[in-house]
Every structure is written in C-alpha cells, then in structure tokens.
Amino acid sequence: MLGQGFVSAAAIAASVLFVLSLGGLSNQEKAKRAVWYGIVGMALAVVFTALGPGIGAYWLMLPMIIAGSVIGWRVAKRVAMTEMPQLVAALHSFVGLAAVFVAWSADLERRRVLAVRATEGVTEEFSAFAALVATKAPDELTFLQLEVVFAIFIGAVTFTGSVIAFGKLAGKVDGKPKQLPGGHLLNAVAAGLCLLLAIAYVAGAGFWTLLILAALSFFIGYHLIMGIGGADMPVVVSMLNSYSGWAAAAIGFTLSNDLLIVTGALVGSSGAILSYIMCKAMNRDFLSVILGGFGGTSGPAAEIEGEQVAIDAGGVAAALNNADSVVIVPGYGMAVAQAQNAVSELTRKLRAAGKEVRFAIHPVAGRLPGHMNVLLAEAKVPYDIVLEMDEINDDFPNTDVAIVIGSNDIVNPAAQEDPNSPIAGMPVLEVWRSRVVFVCKRGQGTGYSGIENPLFFKENTRMLYGDARDSIDTLIPLIE
C-alpha cells in the first residue's frame, strides 16, 4: 500500500506525460516519442492507482490486468493497418461499457452505504469509495447521482455507437445510412425519457431507473450511428473518441479520481477539437455530427456522362517519364493493398530521375484521421514531401501527373459540381485540374461510400485497373 501523497504525485506525473503525448502527436517526427510518453504515463497511472490506499482484492485484480495486457498485446500485433479504424472503434466501446458498469456499481455501493450508515455509521469494512460516500453531505450525494446518470448516458451511447461504427468499418454492417421510421424523433423521445428517468432517480426512485436509462441510451447510440453514411465514418470515429473521454471523466468524478478526470477531459476535448476540424474539412455542421443528422442525400444525384478509359502500366510510365511534377494522392485502397512500400520505391525512383514528387493528404483520407500519414511514415517517405490539402490544392493546375491510389470521395468533383451529392460542399483535392490523372483502382465499383465519382469519367483521366501494389510494382521498372 502506498500513501495518498505518492498516488497524487504519480497522478500529476502521468497527467504531464499525457499532455506531452498529445502535443507530440501533432508532429510526425516526434510521434514515436510521444507514444512512449503515453505508455509510461498509463503505466504509472495503473500501478500507483492499484497500490493506492483503500484498494484491495488483488487476487482478482492482478489476473484481470495480466489477462487484459496479454489480450491487448496479441490483438495489437495481429491487427493490420487497414483494420486500425475498426480497432479504435472497438476500444471506444470498451470505455463506454466500463463507464456504465462502474456507474451501476457506484450506485449500488451508494445505496448499501446509506443503509449501513443509517444504523451503524462508517465501518472499517467499507471500501475506499464506500468510505468516501459515507462522509458526503446530502447535496454532495445529489451531485454523485448526477455524475452516475451522466456516465451511464454517455457510456451507453458510446458503447452501442462504437459497436455499429466497428461493424460499418469492418464491412459487417451496411455502410448506407439507415434509420427506423420516425428518424430523429425517436432519438428525441428516447433522450426525453432519459431525462425523466434521471429526475426520478435523483428524487429517490429505485435502481430500475438506471437500467432503463441505460437501455434507452444504448438505443440512442445504435440509432445515431446507423443513420450515418459510410462517407462520414472518419468523423464518427473521432466523435466517439470524444464521447469515450467524457464518459471516463464522468467516472473520474464519481470515483473522486483526479487522474481519470484529467485523462478523460484530455481525450474528450481533443476528440471534440479533431471532430470540429474534420467537420470543417468535410463542410459538415458540428451540431449535426453530434446528433447523427448527416450522411444522406438531399436529392437525385447528377447524371454522369462519358466512360471510364483504361490504360496499362506502360502508358502510365511514359507519362511519368515525360513529367516534371508529380502529385500522389493515397487512399484507403493503398492501405488495403499494402502498397505503401511500393509507392515509396516509385517515389524514390522518380525523384532520382529529377522529378518533383509530392503527396497530397486530405484530412479524412482513409478511415481514420492520420491513417495515410502513418502508412507513408512506415514506408520511409520523407515527411517534407507529404503535404496537407490546403498546402497543395492550388498547385494542381501546374502539375503534370496526378496519381490517385485507392481514393474516391476525397478527389470527387461532385462535391463542387453536384448540390445533391451526399458530399456536396466538402473540400476535396482538385486532382482533375492536373494535366493528366491516373487512378489506380481494383474495378469500376463505387467503393466503400457507394458514391459515384465523375473524376473517373473525365477526358484527362485514365484508369489503371488492378491491385494497387501489383500495379505499382509493374510500373517501377519502367521508370527511366
């Protein structure tokens, strides 16, 4: 057992490490060190919390910690980068469900303590949390009840929302937006019932109110995310990340755990900021994101004229050999094909031939923020030639060749040309303004989001069909 002073000191140290970790993730060169800050901070948090005053049942806690650590290690080693978005969504669901269970447990303990205090007073058998409850004044107990309600609501919404997000990202649930008859009215009614149950609970109603509150919140989370289309899933993942943070912070207040409050607030606020940035990048209303009210069409899509014209690797190589400037736009298809190393080798050969080669990264490229940046860093692509959309979009008219590898929505001109498109108004990479565009794509399908792309039918676009890695591998020896 350690004294509270040691635990508080460790909490401060861990909080500082978490802040340094978040700050370092904004820079690709510092990201690895930032991740280690987070790992060390979390290790401090777990160890010193477990050894703190009033903590017991180590016979149960240690096996759970060991089992969870082993499972987490094995899952992380087996998951490919293409599966990272759904893994993140799954981890968010764990946080939400944990918040619900802890809140339920806290209320049951509160009821037991109040019953004992009424007859015997505070006893030595009380746990640390129970002893804390036993010393609270009536108004403080009311705040505890509000914390429990908030943790259950946010945690339950996070859990089912993350499960559906996982299903959509993994292809196990249809990516098209779907809602039950009544749409958003059902969500509003469920939220109103949650409010009434919360009032009844604070007024003294039984534990059943929390069970029904959780059930309604589970429904809201499910229905919110089911109503969001696949094109918007990167924003959904970020939004759920924020929700999981606020759920953790609520539990921190319930347990009077300062470190959990700080950590939850960091995750919640950073996730909310990221969601806002991504909403701007997709021209989405932030409030609509929170309410799940986006992802559908506003009318019939514009008809697309022309046809997709195929080209072979030889034709692409000839254009690259004659080009002075090349911009490569990576997308989720590059991740699926594991083509990042082949793309890196192509980049090396083109630069060795005196070509100017740069990468254009859209804020929501892939299915997770920063997905493409991580893949390119993994393949040793120099950081200084990897540019964000705002840095490179104006350069496309002066670009000889743009190569799109497995991207769809982020290079879709319908965002600017078709007001009825589901992505209307979304800022996109304007690759069609280049002299010629080559699109590496498996086939003529619409891709994950189900949105047709007029880029593929433009006169200056040629389609290089096939697996992205095989296509690039075939192309590399032809570069002079």
Domain count, the chain: 3
- Do 468 and 335 contact (CB within 8 A), yes or no? no
Give me the pLDDT at residue 387, please.
92
pLDDT tier, 115 (very low <50, low <70, confident <90, very high otherwise)? confident
Percent helix / strand / coil, the chain, rounded to 5: 65, 5, 30
Average per-residue pLDDT for the chain: 84
Q: Which of 43, 78, 113 is the last residue of a domain?
A: 78
Judge whether 307 lies within some domain: no
Give me the sign of the Cα torsion angle 337, 338, 340, 342: negative
Q: Above 50 in pLDDT, residue 366?
A: yes
Give me the pLDDT at residue 440, please.
92
- Do 21 and 38 contact (CB within 8 A), yes or no? yes
Q: Which residue has the higher pLDDT, 418 or 194?
A: 194
Give me the pLDDT at residue 181, please.
84
**Pairwise CA distance, residues 154 & 131, whole Å:** 26
The reported pTM is: 0.79
- Pair 341, 325 in one domain: yes
- Pair 71, 131 in one domain: no
Q: Above 70 in pLDDT, residue 125?
A: no
Helical (H) or strand (E) element with 334: helix 332-337
**Pairwise CA distance, residues 23 & 20, whole Å:** 5
Give me the pLDDT at residue 117, please.
64
Judge whether 308 lies within some domain: no
CATH of the domain at 340: 3.40.50.1220
Give me the sign of the Cα torsion angle 427, 429, 434, 440: negative
- Pair 317, 186 in one domain: no
**Pairwise CA distance, residues 480 & 477, whole Å:** 8
Which one-letter amino acid corresponds to residue 430?
A: E
- Pair 11, 102 in one domain: no
- Pair 431, 353 in one domain: yes
Give me the pLDDT at residue 296, please.
47
Judge whether 170 lies within some domain: yes
Choose the most confident range, by mean pLDDT, from 61-70, 178-187, 449-458: 61-70
- Pair 286, 341 in one domain: no
Cα end-to-end span (Å), the chain: 68
Task: List the helix and strand counts (H, then E) for the chain.
Answer: 18, 6
Give me the pLDDT at residue 230, please.
65
Token pair for residue 30?
């510092």
Q: Which of 78, 102, 118 is the last residue of a domain?
A: 78
Q: Which residue has the tokens 């859990």?
A: 159
Helical (H) or strand (E) element with 346: helix 340-352
Q: What is the mean pLDDT of residues 58-76?
A: 87
Task: Sort 417 into a burial class: Cβ within 10 Å, 0-12 / 13-18 / 19+.
Answer: exposed
**Pairwise CA distance, residues 417 & 433, whole Å:** 14
**Pairwise CA distance, residues 193 & 190, whole Å:** 5
Token pair for residue 281?
């990048």
**Pairwise CA distance, residues 267 & 273, whole Å:** 10
Judge whether 468 lies within some domain: yes
Give me the pLDDT at residue 134, please.
62
- Pair 85, 70 in one domain: no
- Pair 92, 59 in one domain: no
Give me the pLDDT at residue 462, please.
93
Over residues 389-410, the pLDDT tens digits come to: 989 999 999 999 999 998 888 8
Pairing relation of β-strands 356-361 and 325-330? Answer: parallel
Q: Above 90 in pLDDT, residue 9?
A: no
Judge whether 70 lies within some domain: yes
Give me the pLDDT at residue 474, please.
93
**Pairwise CA distance, residues 336 & 461, whole Å:** 23
CA atoms within 13 A on the CB side of 268: 21
Token pair for residue 170?
């993994």
Residue 329, strand partner residues:
404
Q: Which residue has the tokens 């589970």?
A: 218
- Pair 107, 70 in one domain: no
Helical (H) or strand (E) element with 200: helix 184-202
- Do 233 and 168 contact (CB within 8 A), yes or no? yes
Pairing relation of β-strands 325-330 and 386-388? Answer: unpaired
- Pair 207, 265 in one domain: yes
Q: What is the mean pLDDT of residues 323-332?
A: 93
Q: Above 60 in pLDDT, residue 299?
A: no
pLDDT tier, 295 (very low <50, low <70, confident <90, very high otherwise)? very low
- Do 423 and 407 contact (CB within 8 A), yes or no? no
Q: What is the mean pLDDT of residues 96-123?
A: 78
Q: Is residue 356 helix, strand or coil?
A: strand
Over residues 174-217, the pLDDT tens digits come to: 777 787 887 788 888 999 999 999 999 998 888 999 999 999 99
Give me the pLDDT at residue 398, please.
94
Give me the pLDDT at residue 375, please.
85
Judge whether 86 lies within some domain: yes
- Pair 274, 160 in one domain: yes
Judge whether 304 lies within some domain: no
Q: What is the mean pLDDT of residues 257-262?
A: 87
Domain residue limits at 341: 313-478
Task: Sort 410 into a burial class: Cβ within 10 Å, 0-12 / 13-18 / 19+.
Answer: buried
- Pair 48, 115 in one domain: no
Give me the pLDDT at residue 128, please.
61
Task: Sort 396 into a burial class: Cβ within 10 Å, 0-12 / 13-18 / 19+.
Answer: buried
**Pairwise CA distance, residues 403 & 371, whole Å:** 18
Judge whether 221 lies within some domain: yes
Inter-helix orientation angle 313-322/468-475, to 10°: 60
Q: Which residue has the tokens 């496309």?
A: 396
- Do 332 and 367 contact (CB within 8 A), yes or no? yes
Active site residues: 409
**Pairwise CA distance, residues 247 & 100, whole Å:** 9
The closest alpha carbon to 437, from 454, 406, 422, 458, belongs to 458
Q: Which of 62, 78, 94 is the last residue of a domain?
A: 78
